[in-house]
Amino acid sequence: MLVWSRPGRIVIWLVFTLLFGVLFLAPLAVILLSSLADQWNGVLPSGLTTEHYSDVVQGAAWKAVKASLVTGFLASAVALVSGTWAALALRIQDATLARVLGVLFFIPSAVPSVSVGLGLLVAFSHPPLLLNGTIAIVMVAHFVLISAFTFGNVSAGLARLSPDFEQVASSLGARPAYRLRHVTLPLLAPYLVAAFGLSFALSMGELGATVMVYPPGWVTLPVSIFSLTDRGDVFAGAALTMVLVAVTLILLLGLERVTGRQARS
Amino acid sequence: MADAAVLPAPAAKRVPGRFWIVPPAALLALLFFYPLVLIVQQAFMDDSGMANVGEFVRVLHARFFLNALINTITISVTATAGCLIVGLVLGLILAFVPFPGSGVIARLIDTFIALPTFLVTLAFTFLYGSAGMLNAGLTEAFSLQAPPVNFLYSTWGVVLAEVTVYSPFVLRPLLAAFSLVDRGQIEAASVLGARPFRIVRQVILPAAVPALIAGGSLCLLLTVNEFGIVLFIGAKGVITLPLLIYSKAIQESAYQVACIIAVINIALSLGLFGLYRFAAGRLGA
């Protein structure tokens, strides 16, 4: 405890409440409120309605939810496989090469997402590699952007893994494939689940690359939120944002419970 | 002893295993590095496919580019400074003046990292927009003619939104660093009569410097690359490099100009990424 006097502490907590309230709590609260707002001309909405949410369940907004979920799931699954594969394969390289390749696998997270989208447009707009105008180019963009995060999470998990189990397994004569399936991957499972959850969440909120490459008919949640608010339909945009927040939080909390249970058992 | 018996076995298997890195590396090379190379190639080539830096130099001197570059750097540096201050204040309180529930609050702030950045901008239009809550309240209370608060559609709106979104990235390493500070040292100092401000300056801050540098350089990188916040604010005067790339490529179909700006943006980002890796490496050491 740094501050001992009671008034001093109360002043400091007030500062905290103010900062936290203005910066973090108010934005979430106001989005929730506006997603339920009937009309909003004064300080508070004139009435509350669930109409914006029932619009989401029908119509174009539901297609956006579906597009985001499918894109997020597929991109995260591929990123999980390739990130885990890369992290495992880097362990058996010599140290210098492993360090250089490790940085290369991280670089997609450092490049602006709009440029990733631009690169895909430039590279894959001509046969034989024609992806422009297909759903696949959206998946590829999401995969590239989240691959660094899955790779990073799995690498961090591998670094924390005690080498003892694997050494015991191989000294007992387990072949590498058997050791990987029955020792390394189960030990790594909590990190894999966490990596999948985080990349799914990142994919759900991705805007910069998607807005560059998306074909008509595959409008993800962030893109459709942008077009709604850009048209001035802010309440529908807020309702869709709440859906996005809810899905993201369910993903993160649900996966946290799964990993928590695995860690305990 | 046990190690000596086990270690030679994996060493012997090292040679065939080396090629396992090829599939994921090839995938990333095709989908990420190959497009990146094409961006650079397009930036330095004219329509006939000849190397030409003329267009590159022209864009570099163009008004729209210089404005976007200055905007990007100003916003990024200001927002990072804001993130450092907010992160430091929140971190100091959460770590050293904790209150019931501060752990839950710290985790709540942490989940902000996973939420889409444009959420905050959208919320700000309801809060501080020309028809937002604050303006409606002030106009009603003082019966004003025009909305008095209009910082949102300027660089300050972008900066405030970025501070909200990115200060958790400073807070996270900072709380990790603070958890290592010896509590006994702080109590001893305050029993000996040192005032809190002095303890912060002489005991806590020196321990936090690596975390501040790592978090700050990550914020610089992320704010330079930020797109959603700027797009959603949609102010005519606030154009940054990522937004310029988008508008040149998608709205004007000027792909070469977009590629030239992308090359500069990517170079800037990779430089900041190097800075971050260097800072984070020192943090780990």
Name the closest residue on chain A to residue B226, using Cα atoms.
A112
Which residues in chain A have their CB less than 8 angstroms from residue B137's CB?
Answer: 43
Q: Is the peptide bond before B8 cis (omega within 30 degrees of 0)?
A: no
Give contacts of A19 with chain B, Cβ < 8 Å.
86, 89-90
* pLDDT digit string, tens, across residues B141-188: 888 887 888 888 889 999 999 999 999 999 988 998 898 888 888 888
Distance CA B277, CA B271 (A): 10
Scan residues 54-73 of B and list those with Cβ closer than 8 Å to A: none
| B257 lies within 8 A of chain A by CB | no
Shortest Cα–Cα distance, A73 to chain B (Å): 16
CA angle B32, B273, B177 (to 5 degrees): 130
Nearest by CB to A205, from B17, B116, B136: name it.
Answer: B116
Model pLDDT, residue A68:
94
Is residue B239 within 8 A of residue B67, CB to CB? The reply is yes
Taking an 8 Å cut-off on Cβ atoms, the answer to whether B31 and A143 are in contact is yes
Work out the minimum CA distance from B14 to partner chain A, whole angstroms.
Answer: 6
Query: What is this model's ipTM?
Result: 0.86
User: Which domains does chain B possess?
Assistant: 16-52 (no CATH), 56-284 (1.10.3720.10)
List chain A pLDDT tens, one digit each, 265 residues: 677 688 888 888 999 999 999 889 999 999 998 888 877 777 777 777 787 888 777 777 788 989 999 999 999 999 999 999 999 998 888 888 888 998 999 999 999 999 999 999 999 988 878 888 899 999 999 999 999 999 998 998 888 887 787 788 888 888 888 888 888 888 888 889 888 988 999 999 999 999 999 999 899 999 999 998 888 888 888 999 999 998 888 888 877 777 666 555 4
Residues of B in contact with A88 (CB under 8 A): 20
Residue of chain B whose Cα is closest to the Cα of A141? B31
Q: Which amino acid is at B216?
A: G
The reported pTM is 0.88
At A215, the amino acid letter reads P
To the nearest 10 degrees (0 to 180), the angle between helices A59-90 and A185-204 is: 140
The residue in chain B having the minimum alpha-carbon distance to the alpha carbon of residue A123 is B35
Which DSSP string corresponds to B188-200? HHHHTT--HHHHI
Gap from A128 CA to chain B (nearest CA, Å): 13
Q: Pick from A208, A212, A203: which is nearest to A251 by CA?
A: A203
Judge: A112–B265 Cβ closer than 8 Å, yes or no.
yes
Q: State how far residue A167 is from chain B, nearest Cα, in angstroms.
A: 7
Q: Taking CA B71 as the corner, what is the angle to CA B67 and CA B75, rounded to the nearest 5 degrees?
A: 175
A161 vs A157: CA distance, rounded Å: 6
Q: Which of B13, B97, B248, B278 to mutate to test binding with chain A, by most A CBs within 10 Å of its CB?
A: B97
Domains and CATH numbers, chain A: 1-49 (no CATH), 59-264 (1.10.3720.10)
| Among A71, A1, A66, CA closest to A214 | A71
To test the contact with chain A by mutation, choose from B28, B195, B232 the residue with the greatest count of A C-beta atoms within 10 A, namely B28
pLDDT at A264: 52
